């Protein structure tokens, strides 16, 4: 069963999310990839204000394909989250609460997720045309010159995702794999 949740996700809801939970997200999410992350962290380093108030927000790691006339956005599936790992603990420390991407995170990021009571979710990599259907509005809020890597603000309705790393240390990528792993030499 899917849980319907609203973004920005409230602290209680985040604490109730468990690795493996299927969710449908509605509300507002921000979009940024490596280049945007680099700029966000540089802005923090300079002691300047971020282009949006990151407290309690959700960031989706994504760089869409160009928007066709009459569409809200192009195909819009997740990119590999690991490329954001270097920047993530810093953003969690200033209040980022949820991230959506695909793929493995470092231990450092997983610890920061626990420490700041945040959550890491995955959308299905490569299901980009399907995911685009859940995006009802898209606007560029900063770094337009980065093209597909610009910072976007999206409004979404029933955006499908699954909880990978929860605020208590649960890890679906590890737990799921362990559950279905067959040791060599043993029969199932």
Task: Out of 10, 147, 158, 169, name the contact with another protein by CB under 8 A.
Answer: 147
126 binds ligand SF4 (CB under 6 A): yes
* SS3 label, residue 4: strand
Provide the minimum distance between the beta carbon of 87 and ligand SF4 in the complex, in angstroms, as a whole number. Answer: 20
Spatial CB neighbours of 27, under 8 Å, sequence gap ≥ 6: 6, 7, 8, 155, 156
- Whether 116 is catalytic is no
Instruction: Kindly determine how many residues on this chain lie close enough to bind ligand SF4 according to the rule CB under 6 A.
Output: 3
Using CB under 6 A as the binding rule, the residues of this chain from 38 to 77 that contact ligand SF4 are: 77
Closest CB to ligand SF4: residue number? 126
- How far apart CA 67 and CA 76 sit, in angstroms, is 10
Classify 20 in phi/psi space as left (phi over 0), alpha (psi -120 to 50) or beta: left
* CB count in 10 Å sphere of residue 29: 24
Write out the catalytic residue numbers: 37
Binding site for another protein (CB under 8 A): 20, 22, 62-68, 71, 74-77, 79-80, 82, 102-104, 122, 124-130, 132-133, 147-148, 160, 162, 164, 172-173, 175-184
Binding site for ligand SF4 (CB under 6 A): 77, 125-126
């Amino acid at each position: 069963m899917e849980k319907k949740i609203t973004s920005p996700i409230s602290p209680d809801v985040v604490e109730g999310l468990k690795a493996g939970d299927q969710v449908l997200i509605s509300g507002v999410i921000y979009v940024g990839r490596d280049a945007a992350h680099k700029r966000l962290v540089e802005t923090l380093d300079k002691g300047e204000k971020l282009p949006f108030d990151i407290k309690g927000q959700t960031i989706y790691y994504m760089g869409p394909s160009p928007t066709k006339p009459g569409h809200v956005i192009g195909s819009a599936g997740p990119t590999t989250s690991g490329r954001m790992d270097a920047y993530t603990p810093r953003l969690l420390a200033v209040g980022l609460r949820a991230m959506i991407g695909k793929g493995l995170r470092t231990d450092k990021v997983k610890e920061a997720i626990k420490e700041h009571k945040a959550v890491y979710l995955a959308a299905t990599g490569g299901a980009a045309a399907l995911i685009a259907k859940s995006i009802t509005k898209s606007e560029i809020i900063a770094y337009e010159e980065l093209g597909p890597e610009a910072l976007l603000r999206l409004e979404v309705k029933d955006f499908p995702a699954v909880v990978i790393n929860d605020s208590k240390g649960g890890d679906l990528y590890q737990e799921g794999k362990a559950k279905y792993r067959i040791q060599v030499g043993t029969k199932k």
